[in-house]
Amino acid sequence: MSLNPYIANTEDDVRTMLEVIGVERIDDLFHDIQPQHGPKSFDLPKGRSEYEVVEHVRGLARRNAQELLLFVGGGYYDHYIPAVIPSLISRGEFLTAYTPYQPECSQGTLQALYEYQSSLCALTEMEVSNASLYDGGTALYEAMMMALRVNGRNKVIVDGGVSPIYRKMIRSYTDNLNIEFVEVGPAHGQSDRGQIEKFLDDQTSAVIVQNPNFFGAVDDHSDIVKMAHAKGALVIQSVYPIALGMVKTPGQMGVDIATGEGQSLGLPLNFGGPYLGFMVTKKEYIRKMPGRIVGETVDAQGRRCFVNTLQAREQHIRREKATSNICTNVSLCAVQAAMYLSLLGRQGIRDLARLIFDKAEYAKHLIGQIPGVEVKRAAPTFNEFTVSLPKPAEAVVEAMISRGIAAGFPLSKYYPGMTQYMTVAVTEKRTRNDIERYAQQLKDVLGKI
């Protein structure tokens, strides 16, 4: 028998535990797992030294495509991150508990989050921001739930140009809720006004749109906002923050709630995260807003200080009264985004947006000259655009990978029937030579498939 009563290391111990929990064999514990998903063997190799493990993991990492030229977007983009950002964000002052429950001990963190909120309001021209959410998809879900709380309705119209990843997330989170969803397909890349107006009625809580949308199309949703407001519905817009240096902002359009993925604000791609969800809204809806909001005040001696002004989270109030059950606000990522925005400044964001737009237009020009390739031009675009290929997009992407280029995102992954379509994204990191190499390699690949 084991000296430790909580560790079984003999057959008798194992047999006793199985009897207690009411099964005959250890395999019975895993009967819900289909055989093809189970472990092939428990015959594990012998232990290795730290150095051997590190070298083994590095060998596995080298099997990944590490030196690809990235032209893939879909909501996550390969932007340049100034060297000062990882230097600052790695300082020990930021490696504290992410929730500043004691403001007297957390003034630095609270001020940084306050500056983050202020920067997001300036960027989007909206009135209030929370101190971040989990990621762009859950932020959009939270915005939808917020709209339902504002007007008490349960019908939501979702534009087909909204990221299919986000739409899947919304459906998953609301599977057990009584919400009526109406999905409207995009027309020529932009939102289909006629279909939205057709389904818009007095039971509609919100209309969800995206700008630029998943196809890269830039749109002015001001008219949709007017239509929705006439029926008492809110408009939620998911935005790409870098594009706001050039395109019309949610505030200018009269949007009620705007959300987005903050990865492009100084966060690396990181193989999928951690990322950052932001949310901004009109001041009249601030008490329906999820998450936490940092505010500025004065202490007993009249000195400027910062506190968690509103934090209607399930950790702080009764669960049924909470405005969010996701809660996470990824403060470190929010502070990183604040650093990025402060480094670039108002004019820097504008200059960056213009540079990206010009490079994308150059890519469109070169790609559009390739025989059999059509660049979709029914709507203006920012940095991402849709192309129609003479061959299946997945085959083209696979062939381009072997040449060191991630050519784009095949739309058939989320849109059945769009086998020969893909989106191509360009950021400031793509040089003139990169773009010209891309066009030449694409032309060559199409001639050989």
Last residue of a domain, one of 341, 368, 385: 341
Question: The tokens of 445 are what?
Answer: 């690949």
Question: The tokens of 268 are what?
Answer: 């690396």
Tell me, what amino acid is at 346?
A: R
Residue 49 lies in a domain: no
Residue 82 has pLDDT above 80, yes or no: yes
Using one digit for the tens of pLDDT, what is the confidence trace for 346-371?
999 999 999 999 999 999 999 999 99
CATH number at residue 364: 3.90.1150.10
Verify that 270 and 184 share a domain, yes or no: yes
Tell me the CA distances in angstroms from 105 to 110, 130, 152, 329, one per residue in order. 10, 21, 39, 19
Question: The tokens of 2 are what?
Answer: 């084991």
Verify that 358 and 333 share a domain, yes or no: no
Question: Where in the sequence is the domain holding 271, given as residue range(s)?
Answer: 84-341
Using one digit for the tens of pLDDT, what is the confidence trace for 198-245?
999 999 999 999 999 999 999 999 999 999 999 999 999 999 999 999
Q: What percent of the chain stands above pLDDT 70?
A: 93
Verify that 367 and 225 share a domain, yes or no: no
**Number of other CB atoms surrounding residue 89 within 10 Å:** 17
Residue 51 lies in a domain: no
Residue 235 lies in a domain: yes
For 87, how many CA atoms within 13 A lie in the half-sphere containing its CB?
Answer: 3
Verify that 281 and 309 share a domain, yes or no: yes
Q: Which helix (H) or strand (E) holds 205?
A: strand 204-211
Contact 250, 157 (CB under 8 A): no
> E strands along 9-159, which residues?
69-70, 128-129, 155-159
pLDDT score for 104: 79
Tell me the CA distances in angstroms from 145 to 29, 124, 150, 223, one per residue in order. 38, 21, 9, 23
Verify that 74 and 192 share a domain, yes or no: no
Q: How confident is the model at residue 268 (pLDDT cuts 50, 70, 90)?
A: very high
The count of domains in the chain is 3
pLDDT score for 376: 95
Q: How confident is the model at residue 314 (pLDDT cuts 50, 70, 90)?
A: low
**What angle, 0 to 180 degrees and rounded to 10, lies between the N-to-C axes of helices 331-368 and 107-124?**
30
Tell me the CA distances in angstroms from 149 to 55, 71, 210, 233, 306, one per residue in order. 53, 39, 21, 12, 28
pTM of the model: 0.86
